[in-house]
Structure 1
Amino acid sequence: MKLGLFTSGYQRNSIEDMFADAKRFGYDYIELWGGRPHAFPPDLKRFGVQELRRLMDRYDMPVPIFTPETNAYPYNFMLGNEAQRKDSVDYICLCMDMAVQLGCQATLISAAHAGYRVDQAEIWDRLLRSLAQLTSYAEKLGHKLILEPLTPYESNVVTTVNDLQRVFEALPSPALVGMCDVVPPFVQHESILDYFDKLGSKLYHMHIVDSYDNSDTHLIPGEGSLPLPELMAELRERGYQGTATIELVTNYLNEPRLYARRAIQRLRTMEEEY
């Protein structure tokens, strides 16, 4: 299994820090967060991707997944009027364009909160219309679009593996795939392993962090209550050879370099415990 560094926590650091750290701490790849100052897609379109490509080559560090910000600040294709929905869809298409220029194999998005005054039929219709457009664009690019379930603290749209299954049944495209961030199933008392059993080859990616069962906070492995050593043993026994990003976000903005080192050391140790 390949372990990746998520770059959201490096937004106060230089762009080179995250590549240097991924290399020296033993990460296999970078999952690139699409925010300022490093990789905001409109900035990439305006100024180009040369600096990022140079660092990828210099540190021999691939960036297989691009993860733009799609959770309401300011883009959320599930919230607002039709013009705002179209603007968010256009933005994600631009994100995929930039991901292709970077050499990424996939762009990762989530369906954020749809608001309180919409019913389930409206939510489902808007979700499928948006994803159909985005999936069609991904197909034209020869690119993968990864849909990530969120916790119920974050969204009322796609939060479970059953939600993912329903989406895939409605939009049966090889370009549209899913993933498992271990926090959403954990806080909902859903089985993490059900993602493997129910999604099969549609399970493209993972986010592995620690948490408590009453919070969506993403913690360093070993600092919450998730049974991560046992999960790592299960992944090994199942032969999972895909990507798994240690998704540390804003909890660790003050010292991302120190916590990125601790996170991979902890998870590698857990891999060896069983």
Structure 2
Amino acid sequence: MKYVAMNFHYVRYPLSTFLDKVERSFFEYVELWAAAPHFNIYDATMADAAALKKEIKKRNLKLACVTPEQCVYPVNLAIQDTQLRNNSIEYFKKTIEVAEALETSRVIVSAGYGFFNQPKEEAWKLAKESLSVLSQFAKGKGITLTLEPLMVTTSNVINSSSDLSRMIDEVNSPNLVGMLDTSQMSFYPETPKEYFKNLGDKLQYLHFNDRSHLVPGDGDLPMKDHYKQIVENGYDGFCSFEICDRRYYCDPDAALDSIENWIKSNKF
């Protein structure tokens, strides 16, 4: 498995602090949470991407994927507001261009949400249309879009592995695949086994986090069992750690150390 460090919990530090720490760790890959203050997609230029690529390479690191902020920003691929939806499509198109400039082949995307008091199928239709446009654009750039389910409190479009499989099948693009986030999964709830059953080889990325995006072992999820199921299903791709809780903001290095220790203690 290819273990990936992510910069979300370094949000109160410069991005260079994160990269320096990863260089000193056992991680070889990074996932770029692309948002202010580290790398703001709205304002970033291709020159900024070139400079970041140089910083990553000089530390002998590799970029696994780009994950633009899309839950707290005004980004929504399924909303009825045409202007907001079109702006969201353009936001992801720029992210895809940034990923191409950074020489990575993967961008994480979510389907957005519709108003919760309106039929899910209406939001589903709009999300499908948006994802179809983006998948075609990504194909031209050599980028794979990795679709992530969200909690039922965040989205009413894709919450489960069956929802995820259905959307991938309906968009029907080789440039749209799925992923598993163990924290998001826990709110449905499902197990990794069900994700592998429903997605097969379309499951191509992991966010391996304890409940509420904590360091594995800091929450109440059966992380050892989850990890065992992932290994038993033959998964050997990227395994990233999306650590978001504010408890880690003051000392983010310690969180990375804890992740590294967990992996070394629990590898099967």
Work out whether the TM-score is over 0.5: yes
- Are the counterparts in 2 of residues 71 and 111 from structure 1 also a CA contact under 8 Å? no
Q: Per the alignment, in what secondary structure is the counterpart of residue 65 of structure 1? A: strand
Distance 1:179 1:102, change over 3 A: same
Worse-matched range after superposition: 129-138 or 35-44: 35-44
- Are the counterparts in 2 of residues 107 and 144 from structure 1 also a CA contact under 8 Å? yes
- Are the counterparts in 1 of residues 193 and 233 from structure 2 also a CA contact under 8 Å? no
Q: Per the alignment, in what secondary structure is the counterpart of residue 3 of structure 2? A: strand
Q: How does 1:74-85 map to 2 (within 5 A)?
A: 74-85=74-85
Whole-angstrom distance in 2 between the partners of 1:35 and 1:85 = 19
Equivalent residue for 1:228, pick from 214, 223, 227:
223
CA drift at 1:125: 1.2
- Are the counterparts in 2 of residues 108 and 147 from structure 1 also a CA contact under 8 Å? yes
Equivalent residue for 2:213, pick from 209, 213, 218:
218
CA drift at 1:41: 1.8
Residues 1-43 of structure 1: per-residue CA shift (max 9 Å, x gap): 1111111111221221111111212113111011012211233
Whole-angstrom distance in 2 between the partners of 1:15 and 1:238 = 35
Worse-matched range after superposition: 107-116 or 94-103: 107-116
Residues 197-249 of structure 1: per-residue CA shift (max 9 Å, x gap): 221110110000111xxxxx111111112221222233333321100111101
Name the residue aligned to 1:214. none
Residues 157-181 of structure 1: per-residue CA shift (max 9 Å, x gap): 1110011111122111110000000
TM-score where L is the length of structure 2: 0.94
Q: Per the alignment, in what secondary structure is the counterpart of residue 45 of structure 2? A: helix
Name the residue aligned to 1:169. 169
Q: Per the alignment, in what secondary structure is the counterpart of residue 206 of structure 2? A: strand
Equivalent residue for 2:244, pick from 231, 249, 252:
249
Whole-angstrom distance in 2 between the partners of 1:100 and 1:268 = 33
Worse-matched range after superposition: 254-263 or 143-152: 254-263
| Number of residue-to-residue matches in the alignment | 267
Whole-angstrom distance in 2 between the partners of 1:69 and 1:136 = 21
Name the residue aligned to 1:151. 151
Identity %, equivalent residues: 28
Residues 66-87 of structure 1: per-residue CA shift (max 9 Å, x gap): 0001124122222351011001
Q: Per the alignment, in what secondary structure is the counterpart of residue 109 of structure 2? A: strand
Q: Per the alignment, in what secondary structure is the counterpart of residue 100 of structure 1? A: helix
Worse-matched range after superposition: 141-150 or 251-260: 251-260
The amino acid of 1:41's aligned partner reads I
Runs of 4+ in 1 over 4 A off after TM superposition: none
Whole-angstrom distance in 2 between the partners of 1:80 and 1:264 = 43
Aligned residues: CA RMSD: 1.6
The amino acid of 1:247's aligned partner reads E
- Are the counterparts in 2 of residues 8 and 250 from structure 1 also a CA contact under 8 Å? no
Any stretches of 5+ residues in structure 2 without a counterpart?
none
CA drift at 1:143: 0.9
Worse-matched range after superposition: 8-17 or 84-93: 8-17
Residues 66-122 of structure 1: per-residue CA shift (max 9 Å, x gap): 000112412222235101100110110001000110011110011233222321221
Q: How does 1:1-274 map to 2 (within 5 A)?
A: 1-45=1-45, 47-211=47-211, 217-251=212-246, 252-271=248-267, 274=268
Worse-matched range after superposition: 152-161 or 87-96: 152-161
- Are the counterparts in 2 of residues 207 and 244 from structure 1 also a CA contact under 8 Å? yes
TM-score where L is the length of structure 1: 0.92
